[in-house]
Amino acid sequence: MGVARFSLFKIASSHLHRMHHPSALRQMSFASGLQNSTIFRSQGLIGGQWVAAHDGIWNFFRFNPSTGEIIADVPFMGRRETNDAISSAYQAFNSWSKLTAAERSKYLRKWYDLIMSHKEELGQLITLEQGKPLKEALGEVSYGASFIEFFAEEAKQVYGDIIPATLADRRLFVLKQPVGVVGAITPWNFPLAMITRKVGPALACGCTVVVKPSELTPLTALAAAELALQAGIPPGVLNVVMGNASDIGDALLASPQVRKITFTGSTAVGKKLMAGAAGTVKRISLELGGNAPCIVFDDADLDVAVKGAIAAKFRNSGQTCVCANRVIVQEGIYEKFAEAFSKAVQNLQVGDGFTEGVAQGPLINEAAVQKVESFLQDALSKGAKVILGGKRHSLGMTFYEPTVVTDVKSDMLLAREEVFGPVAPLLRFKTEEEAICIANDTNAGLAAYIFTNNVQRTWRVSEALEYGLVGVNEGIISTEVAPFGGVKQSGLGREGSKYGIDEYLELKYVCLGDMNRK
């Protein structure tokens, strides 16, 4: 993550008049169709009620990043609404946590079924408010839903332990219990999946949740919450508030009733939340920014490496925290790779996410484009060369040309921080040791990718990389069944898989004494 925040009023004035896109009409029909859909919600959800902000007037507009079209206005909530949501979640915890695992599992399964039966509408909503190509958006719906399905099953696998006692008259037990109310703060790049990845395990083991989606993409979150209600998930178990991010965050941090914060977003905000959680000693999981290396060795299969690097770099126009941020290529294959890679990047069709065949949608907003421009400017001023793209796309708005840059060095911003856009910087290396050294020379440690056909190297390098996830000859590796998360400053904790539910569980040791007393 890592796009600078911006003023709502600034985008309002700069986007209001723009409706001149060729595909604007098509989107308008999607937008008006969706607005009539049963899953379209534009208010907050507190205690099972759809509510406006307390003061009623602080609505803010949501825009389609591709056209600037207004798609909804949403209440601008703050501390007061967040405290109400926390109270509802706290109250609901009493009964939700006492249901049997099988009962909670059934609710989650129903929710999963409803998400999948609304796949098209949810996918369109994601494209409309986030911009990614519809095919990717539909992929996100399946991926997002998979966490609900997976954790519906995991709900029934939360086993405790019996520990062999050290004294004959005692029995020692370990219980696993839900931590309590969870505050979940999520980003805009996966408006559905980043929520389900947190809410799935939380609800499965008996926690209740207050979700704060990104203000840039609240509609998908609200639609998912509507489906949770339709699935019969009781009022207060899942609440959604949005508006003033720092006020909502502060209210979640300050409340002793909130026992856990789970966050996906920028490293800067993650650090703030970690510090803020200290006041009430909350559990915390953080999934923060990455700086993923994608290492291509001389012995890689060129086609596999090109395909994998493109998938790892250009998904969601480069706006994911596992996107390859540095393509590090061995000198023997460098020229061949650069040529084949650029050719493939050139073929990526840029355009509105609703247009058939488009692989690259817009960036999320103007600030995101400016960030890409400033990183590129820094690289060019230090000797890097653009071999493809390198400027805003002729479509205007927030479209940027898929770009390949060579001669990138470790001191350039492009190599040090997440660009979060469609720019692939190529770096050159000689030896395996050097590649590992370049790859690990960062505070981030989320995803890394390697391309090689040498099995020994695969193991050696995978073990040496200081990263939470490693893709070998594969550019897309996330799945609900595997643990996702980073090391170093990329975060704490894991999401998905059998390990993901532990983040929402407390261990309780119970010592039963005096077994022999009559």
Q: Phi and psi at residue 453, in whole multiples of 5°?
A: -105, 10
Position among 114, 126, 185, 233 found at the interface with ligand ADP (CB under 6 A): 185
130 binds ligand ADP (CB under 6 A): no
Indicate if 323 belongs to the active site.
Answer: no
Position among 15, 212, 307, 326 found at the interface with ligand ADP (CB under 6 A): 212
Write each residue from 187 to 206 as x if it is in contact with ligand ADP (CB under 6 A), else as -, in one continuous string. x-------------------
The residue to which tokens 């460098």 are assigned? 334
Q: How far is the CB of 504 from ligand ADP (least distance, A)?
A: 19
How many CB atoms are located within 10 Å of the residue 431 CB? Answer: 10
CA 227 to chain centre: 20
Pairing of strands 385-388, 324-330: unpaired
Nearer to ligand ADP, 186 or 406 (CB): 186
Q: Both tokens of residue 484?
A: 């996702």
Write each residue from 272 to 291 as x if it is in contact with ligand ADP (CB under 6 A), else as -, in one continuous string. x-------------------
In 139-178 the beta strands, taken as DSSP E runs, fall at 161-163, 171-178
Nearer to ligand ADP, 34 or 252 (CB): 252
Q: Both tokens of residue 271?
A: 């650090």
Binding part of the chain for ligand ADP, among 197-205, 210-218, 348-356, 380-388 by CB under 6 A, reads: 210-218
265 binds ligand ADP (CB under 6 A): yes
Q: Which of 454, 461, 459, 455 is nearest to 432 (CA)?
A: 461
Helix H or strand E encompassing 509? strand 505-512
Pairing of strands 208-212, 238-240: parallel
What does the DSSP 8-state code read for residue 443? Answer: S
Count of residues that interact with ligand ADP, criterion CB under 6 A: 17
Residue of 287, 401, 417, 480 with catalytic role: 287
Q: Phi and psi at residue 517, in whole multiples of 5°?
A: -70, 140
What does the DSSP 8-state code read for residue 157? Answer: G
How many CB atoms are located within 10 Å of the residue 349 CB? Answer: 12
Contacts of 54 (CB under 8 A, 6+ apart): 77, 80, 81
Q: How far is the CB of 347 from ligand ADP (least distance, A)?
A: 28
Indicate if 331 belongs to the active site.
Answer: no
Position among 215, 401, 417, 495 found at the interface with ligand ADP (CB under 6 A): 215
Nearer to ligand ADP, 187 or 491 (CB): 187
Q: How far is the CB of 322 from ligand ADP (least distance, A)?
A: 14
3 state SS of 461:
helix
Nearer to ligand ADP, 1 or 141 (CB): 1
Q: How far is the CB of 422 from ligand ADP (least distance, A)?
A: 16
Position among 246, 347, 377, 431 found at the interface with ligand ADP (CB under 6 A): 246
86 binds ligand ADP (CB under 6 A): no
Catalytic center residues: 287, 321
Binding site for ligand ADP (CB under 6 A): 1-3, 5, 185-187, 212, 214-215, 245-246, 249, 265-266, 269, 272
